Amino acid sequence: MKKLLFPFLALILLGFACRNQENKAKEKQYSEADLQLLEKATTYFSKLPEPKDPTSPLALLGKKLYYEESVSANGKMSCNTCHPISTYGVDNLPTSPGHDGRRGTRNSPTTFNAYFHVAQFWDGRSPDLADQAKGPILNPI
């Protein structure tokens, strides 16, 4: 039994030593410049709040409306046309095409976390989402 105990203890110690090395390497990943940038960024950004219940009736209604095509003039476009969830809320086009193929003058920003923006649209002309929501529906293009 004693013969087995020593190799067993040695293995455990070796495991700890390796883990310590890994942690040191991770700590070294950040240069002084990285840390300064991180500190600066935290003055502009903070941790997002925990998401609310995605199965709540309000969340489910929002999701349904996001994909609703009957809100468009041609009955074929939804929010997801220009802000596809599958590509992080952007269509990756220079400008987004409207219901008759005509193009608008700007590209679509992401809708992800838009609720937290200090203002809406590229020029910030809309103060919040409630005001912004009139834009896409009433836009002639």
In the shown chain, the binding pattern of residues 23 to 62 toward ligand HEC, with x for contact by CB under 6 A and - for none, equals: ----------------------------------------
Burial of 66 (0-12, 13-18, 19+ CB in 10 A): middle
109 binds ligand HEC (CB under 6 A): yes
What is the C-alpha to C-alpha distance for residues 75 and 84, in angstroms, rounded to an integer? 17
**To which residue do tokens 């709540």 refer?**
56
- Whole-number minimum distance, CB 9 to ligand HEC, in Å? 58
90 binds ligand HEC (CB under 6 A): no
What is the C-alpha to C-alpha distance for residues 69 and 65, in angstroms, rounded to an integer? 8
- Whole-number minimum distance, CB 41 to ligand HEC, in Å? 19
DSSP state of 69: G
Burial of 120 (0-12, 13-18, 19+ CB in 10 A): buried
Q: Give the number of residues in contact with ligand HEC, rule: CB under 6 A.
A: 21
- Whole-number minimum distance, CB 30 to ligand HEC, in Å? 30
Q: Single out the residue of 96, 101, 134, 140 in contact with ligand HEC (rule: CB under 6 A).
A: 96
What is the C-alpha to C-alpha distance for residues 2 and 13, in angstroms, rounded to an integer? 17
Of 63 and 106, CB closest to ligand HEC? 106
The rounded Cα 10 to chain-centroid distance in angstroms is: 46
Interface ranges with ligand HEC (CB under 6 A): 77, 79, 81-83, 96, 98, 104, 106-109, 111, 114, 117, 120-122, 129, 132, 136
